[in-house]
Amino acid sequence: MPLMTAALAPSLIDALLGSKLSGDRVSLEGLTMAVAAHGALEFGLRRLEMASLRVASGPLVLEVGKLAFDQLVALVRIDGGGVRLSKLEAAGAELSGVKVRGPLDFAPAAGPWTLGPLAGADGTVRAEIVDAHLLFDADVTVPIRRGRIGFEDATVEHVGPDSRMGVSRLGLYVDAPNGRSYLYQFSSPPVAGVEYERRGAMPGPWAVTDRGSLQLQPFAEWLLRQPLGGQAHGLTEQARLLFGRTAVSGQVQLGDGPFAAPFAQADLVGRSGGRNVVRLHSQAVGRGLTAEIASLSARNAASVLGGTRLECDELAGALTLQLSVEGGQLHFQMDLPSLKASGLRMHVRIRPDRPVGP
């Protein structure tokens, strides 16, 4: 029976990820087995460790240096020479050396986005534009206060008279001494989360009495709801030239709140303890951007992949996300050097055409 369970262990992860994994080490401790209802078997393990795992699912690749489950219970059925997993629970799980990489596509039809932690975000993002072509060399500072960018507080400093950023019904702009240039143009107003500039009776740039503002959560959610590829459509050619010469740095403290992507959701927690601080840096934002969270903290996390639903009560660890542009396609690599999960539960929809294990 231990040999059959050792063969079953990689298949549990196959069921979770929906694709075949390769790995070279499996370690089992404290194996138990009991007969459950309707002829199912209940396997218990005090600890299951797997090392050097690699999974490829289409263009996505997942690598795990080490994966360990504590107090694991798996409910399986054996029929037709195959093992079918229906339920898995573990008191805790630890992962290290996790890397996920592949192309990044935003598909609004796949499900809604909720970016609650942006509503309470605080921080500052700085950009250094070298040889800005149409604007000048410039140092840009954009403060974020309680999830809001107020363009009255944003600065664009360079040799000579400084420029000003703002948002109008046409889009995000920079007013420079040589005129107004748009960085991102809106397809049609109104746009969620945007308070447009206000103008007085004076002509020219002096007519603007308030530069406007962005509420990050509704604006970012609106952007992600746009048709596939539409998010980048609003970028002007001027902006593309600028981003190729723009270095970015910054630090943003995310707020507590729900996050939901098409296939995953969680509640970010721990703001009062300094958790979930995002550090941003890039040598040229037009070619890529790196975001680091040294202390990630979340509760009530869940993910659905195929017929598998994975849930856990708490998540804690570190995360680095790298975005890059390759051949006109946006790619990502997510590194998790360490991650701990407690109260792990996995529910698998049994499919007669998909046995789990030999």
The predicted-structure confidence for 53-101, as pLDDT tens digits, reads as follows: 887 777 888 888 998 999 999 888 776 666 677 788 999 999 999 998 9
> Does residue 83 belong to any structural domain of this protein?
no
Q: Is the pLDDT of residue 109 over 70?
A: no
> Does residue 322 belong to any structural domain of this protein?
no
| Residues facing residue 262 across a β-bridge | none
> Does residue 212 belong to any structural domain of this protein?
yes
At residue 322, the pLDDT reads 95
At residue 17, the pLDDT reads 46
> Does residue 198 belong to any structural domain of this protein?
yes
pTM metric for this prediction = 0.83
> Does residue 350 belong to any structural domain of this protein?
no
> Does residue 321 belong to any structural domain of this protein?
no
Mean pLDDT on 41-52: 88
In angstroms, the CA 101 to CA 160 distance is 44
Q: Max alpha carbon distance in the chain (Å)?
A: 85
Contact (CB, 8 A) for 278 and 251: yes
At residue 82, the pLDDT reads 65
> Does residue 138 belong to any structural domain of this protein?
no
Contact (CB, 8 A) for 101 and 126: no
Mean pLDDT on 181-200: 88
At residue 341, the pLDDT reads 94
What percentage of residues in the chain have a pLDDT greater than 90?
Answer: 46
Query: Average pLDDT, whole number, for the chain?
Result: 83
Torsion of CA 83, 84, 87, 88, to 10 degrees: 40
Q: Which of 96, 90, 95 is nearest to 30 (CA)?
A: 90
The range of the structural domain enclosing residue 186 comes to: 150-244
Contact (CB, 8 A) for 119 and 254: no
Write out the H or E segment, with its range, that includes residue 216: helix 216-224
Question: Would you call the peptide bond into 190 cis, given omega within 30 degrees of 0 as the criterion?
Answer: yes
Q: Which residue has the tokens 């209940």?
A: 42
At residue 3, the pLDDT reads 42
Q: Which of 45, 40, 35 is nearest to 2 (CA)?
A: 45
> Does residue 21 belong to any structural domain of this protein?
no
The residues near 32 (Cβ < 8 Å, ≥ 6 apart) are 43, 44, 45
Counting the structural domains of the chain, the total is 1
